[in-house]
């Protein structure tokens, strides 16, 4: 466990404003006259990674772009494995839904105090607040990422302890339920809850309850160091940025996958067999104004060019991801990139352009 001096050092860092691992902005406009087709569009933005765009049973685009490993000269393909960053939160959210199905939760409105009576203001923070970023918890990633990269090691319980002490000393950033603010802390706590209530390691539970039933056998916990011909290396420009302390991203950004596996995930979530109607309404329900984005349960909800688009993005050193679906068109959009430069702007451009031109 962390010593008192380390806790104080990290609590100080919590006071410094930081950005979340995945910051989602409004889509930016594009010039519709320049669009030819999806492949040409991704070439025009120098996309590096793998792409799957599908409408019904028809592939609009299923292809790799650029190098998976520039040092060895191997190319990206639809089977290449990428770190997916905060797209992992959609698995964690499903894990919590599964806890509910298994009777470990009476509802998503249960407060944290039901599971940890000593968590500060835990009687105000519900499971639903965690999954919809309405808890007011400060984001832990910045302080712990810096220290982990310098060689320090932390158990998830260490991070949980610091979050708890931060709330005890400095309070929440807002009253739970009053505002929405993206925080990776929400999903770290959700992952720890999965472990405590299921009696299984978080990764084992997600593999058993989510991945294996869908045949997602190419999705796995991300390793700190990437090796092997099946995996993409991550880059900032020309610099390899693949080494990352993945253990600090438990539940919030620690999975690796392929566009093929994530196609299975989007197909299941978009369909009518995976969720009950009540679950689907809870996760994706509610009106969203045109050209706006709102939070669902572990998913974003957007209205882009009159289409409802349910999605999540992810950024982690050297990698950027986007998965989403358009129910009205049975459409799927998945982009996994091993190049992390202006990822928010590029992701928004992809959403804006592909929904306008392909759906």
Give the pLDDT band (50/70/90) at residue 8.
very low
Instruction: Report how far residue 52's alpha carbon sits from residue 274's, in angstroms, rounded to the nearest whole number.
Output: 21
For the chain, what is the mean pLDDT? 91
User: What ranges in the chain are assigned the alpha helix state H?
Assistant: 4-14, 38-44, 88-101, 127-131, 141-149, 156-170, 185-198, 202-206, 259-270, 277-284, 343-358
Lowest pLDDT segment from 12-21, 144-153, 316-325:
12-21
Domain ranges of the chain: 38-358
Give the pLDDT band (50/70/90) at residue 11.
very low
pLDDT at 32: 52
Give the pLDDT band (50/70/90) at residue 344.
confident
Q: CA–CA distance from 330 to each of 61, 271, 307 (Å)?
A: 15, 9, 12
pLDDT at 143: 85
Q: What is the mean pLDDT of residues 81-100?
A: 98
Q: What is the mean pLDDT of residues 22-42?
A: 67
pLDDT at 62: 98
pLDDT in tens, 155-177: 999 999 999 999 999 999 999 99
pLDDT in tens, 175-215: 999 999 999 999 999 999 999 999 999 999 999 999 999 99
**pLDDT above 70 for 29:** no
Give the pLDDT band (50/70/90) at residue 31.
low
**pLDDT above 70 for 5:** no
**pLDDT above 90 for 3:** no
**pLDDT above 90 for 2:** no
Q: What is the mean pLDDT of residues 255-279?
A: 97
Give the pLDDT band (50/70/90) at residue 10.
very low
DSSP letter string, 254-302? -EEE-HHHHHHHHHHHHSSSSS-HHHHHHHH-S---TT-EEE-SSSEEE
Environment class of 172 (CB within 10 Å of its CB; exposed 0-12, middle 13-18, buried 19+)? middle
**pLDDT above 50 for 27:** no
**pLDDT above 50 for 13:** no
pLDDT at 6: 43
CB neighbours of residue 149 within 10 Å? 13
pLDDT at 33: 65
Greater pLDDT, 15 or 285: 285
Give the pLDDT band (50/70/90) at residue 334.
very high
Domain 38-358 fold: Beta-lactamase (3.40.710)
């Amino acid at each position: 466990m962390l010593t008192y001096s380390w806790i104080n050092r990290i609590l100080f860092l919590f006071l410094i404003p930081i950005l979340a691992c995945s910051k989602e902005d409004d889509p930016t406009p594009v010039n519709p006259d320049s669009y030819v087709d999806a492949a040409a569009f991704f070439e025009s933005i120098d996309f590096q990674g793998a792409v799957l765009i599908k409408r019904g049973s028809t592939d609009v685009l299923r292809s790799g772009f650029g190098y998976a490993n520039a040092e060895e000269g191997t190319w990206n393909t639809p089977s290449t494995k990428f770190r997916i960053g905060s797209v992992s939160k959609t698995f964690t959210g499903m894990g919590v839904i599964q806890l509910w199905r298994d009777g470990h939760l009476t509802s998503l409105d249960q407060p944290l105090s039901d599971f940890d009576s000593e968590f500060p203001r835990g009687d105000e923070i519900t499971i639903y607040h965690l999954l919809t970023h309405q808890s007011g918890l400060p984001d832990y990633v910045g302080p712990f990422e810096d220290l982990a990269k310098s060689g320090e090691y932390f158990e998830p319980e260490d991070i949980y302890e610091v979050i708890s002490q931060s709330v005890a000393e400095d309070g929440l950033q807002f009253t739970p339920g009053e505002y929405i603010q993206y925080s990776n802390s929400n999903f770290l706590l959700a992952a720890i809850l999965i472990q405590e209530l299921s009696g299984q390691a978080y990764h084992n539970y997600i593999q058993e309850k989510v991945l294996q039933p869908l045949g997602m056998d190419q999705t796995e916990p991300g390793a700190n160091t990437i090796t092997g011909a099946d995996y993409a290396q991550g880059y900032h420009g020309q610099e390899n940025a693949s080494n990352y302390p993945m253990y600090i991203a438990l539940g919030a950004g620690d999975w690796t996958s392929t566009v093929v596996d994530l196609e299975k995930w989007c197909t299941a979530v978009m369909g009518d067999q995976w969720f009950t109607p009540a679950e689907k309404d809870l996760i994706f329900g509610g009106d969203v104004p045109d050209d706006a984005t709102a939070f669902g349960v572990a998913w974003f909800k957007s209205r882009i060019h009159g289409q409802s688009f349910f999605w999540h993005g992810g950024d982690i050193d050297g990698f950027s991801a986007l998965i989403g679906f358009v129910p009205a068109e049975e459409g799927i959009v998945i982009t996994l990139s091993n190049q992390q430069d202006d990822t928010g702007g590029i992701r928004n451009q992809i959403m804006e352009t592909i929904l306008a031109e392909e759906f």
